[in-house]
């Protein structure tokens, strides 16, 4: 199916977001790729989207910064019409107990993972909702199985932030249910990406394998497939769902 609209993917320069960009392009979406630091990586993903015959643009913005989010959506408006949003940008931090964590760490965790998601969702709703003159669309928030497990001894703050993303997903889905906008979340388990190295544990995905019922970590493409399905018309009656993609964990 061909779309004449753009899918905006926050944190689309690598990992799960980059996999979503490629699969969404193959499914017919034009793709807008947001990133913070690595323009070269974002451009490489854009080139892969164009090779699939779809339009691509790269948009630098820190999703935790309200002015930068607004500027990103204004640039996207100039390029074409928004049809969907994947709130994928997210961070972890080094493994710590709660009694060792700083308020600065908690603020960064919630600024990016929670308020970044909410800022982008708000801007998308203002464009997609029939209440605002839009023609509808879909939002997928990337949460984590940590919201269900709590991540004790590692990053309880991250788990709490993802719990907020889950409840935000439920509420926004019900708020928009008659306005043409479906809102769902995907909760990945342990997935092979760079995020583990950014938390100081580059081998974490493989080390966790014995604790996963399928005895292996997942691949970014296995999460992207669920996200692209939730965005598609095949999911037309699915809203407010929290879909675990965890190998059974």
Residues forming contacts to ligand NAP in the complex (CB under 6 A) are: 10-17, 34-38, 62-64, 88-91, 112, 116, 142, 144, 188, 190-191, 193-195, 198
Enter the tokens of residue 136.
């509808």
Catalytic residue among 35, 155, 158, 237: 158
Which CB sits closer to ligand NAP, 89 or 176? 89
CA–CA distance from 117 to each of 28, 182, 202, 205 (Å)? 24, 15, 26, 25
Which CB sits closer to ligand NAP, 12 or 84? 12
Tokens 């793709």 appear where? 31
CA distance 218 to 164: 24
45's enclosing H/E stretch is: helix 39-51
CA-closest candidate to residue 12, choices 55, 51, 61, 68: 61
Cβ 47 to ligand NAP, closest distance in Å? 16
The pair phi, psi for residue 5, each rounded to 5°, is -115, 160
CA-closest candidate to residue 63, choices 40, 94, 32: 32
CA–CA distance from 237 to each of 62, 106, 201 (Å)? 32, 36, 39
Asked about 158 being catalytic, the answer comes back as yes
Cβ 231 to ligand NAP, closest distance in Å? 16
Cβ 134 to ligand NAP, closest distance in Å? 24
User: Is 186 in contact with 227 (CB distance < 8 Å)?
Assistant: yes
Cβ 239 to ligand NAP, closest distance in Å? 20
CA distance 158 to 114: 10
Which CB sits closer to ligand NAP, 25 or 134? 25
Which CB sits closer to ligand NAP, 87 or 129? 87
CA-closest candidate to residue 21, choices 60, 1, 50: 50
Which CB sits closer to ligand NAP, 7 or 134? 7
Cβ 193 to ligand NAP, closest distance in Å? 3
- Positions annotated as catalytic residues are 158
């Amino acid at each position: 199916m061909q779309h004449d609209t753009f899918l905006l993917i926050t944190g689309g320069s690598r990992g799960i977001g980059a996999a979503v960009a490629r699969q969404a392009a193959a499914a017919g979406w034009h793709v807008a790729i947001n990133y913070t630091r690595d323009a070269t990586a974002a451009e490489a993903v854009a080139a892969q989207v164009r090779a699939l015959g779809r339009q691509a643009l790269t948009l630098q913005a820190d999703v935790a910064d309200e002015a930068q989010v607004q500027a990103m959506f204004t640039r996207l408006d100039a390029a074409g019409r928004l049809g969907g949003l994947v709130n994928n940008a997210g961070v972890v931090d080094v493994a710590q107990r709660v009694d060792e964590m700083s308020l600065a760490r908690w603020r960064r965790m919630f600024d990016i993972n929670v308020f970044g998601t909410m800022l982008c969702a708000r801007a998308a709703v203002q464009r997609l909702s029939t209440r605002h003159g839009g023609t509808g669309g879909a939002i997928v928030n990337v949460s984590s199985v940590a919201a269900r497990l709590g991540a004790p001894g590692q990053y309880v703050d991250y788990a709490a932030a993802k719990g907020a993303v889950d409840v935000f997903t439920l509420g926004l889905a019900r708020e928009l249910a008659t306005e043409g906008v479906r809102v769902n979340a995907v909760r990945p388990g342990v997935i092979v990406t760079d995020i583990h190295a950014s938390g100081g544990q580059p081998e974490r995905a493989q080390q966790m394998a014995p604790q996963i019922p399928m005895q292996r970590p997942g691949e970014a493409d296995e999460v992207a497939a669920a996200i692209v399905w939730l965005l598609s018309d095949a999911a037309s009656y699915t809203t407010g769902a929290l879909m675990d993609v965890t190998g059974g964990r």
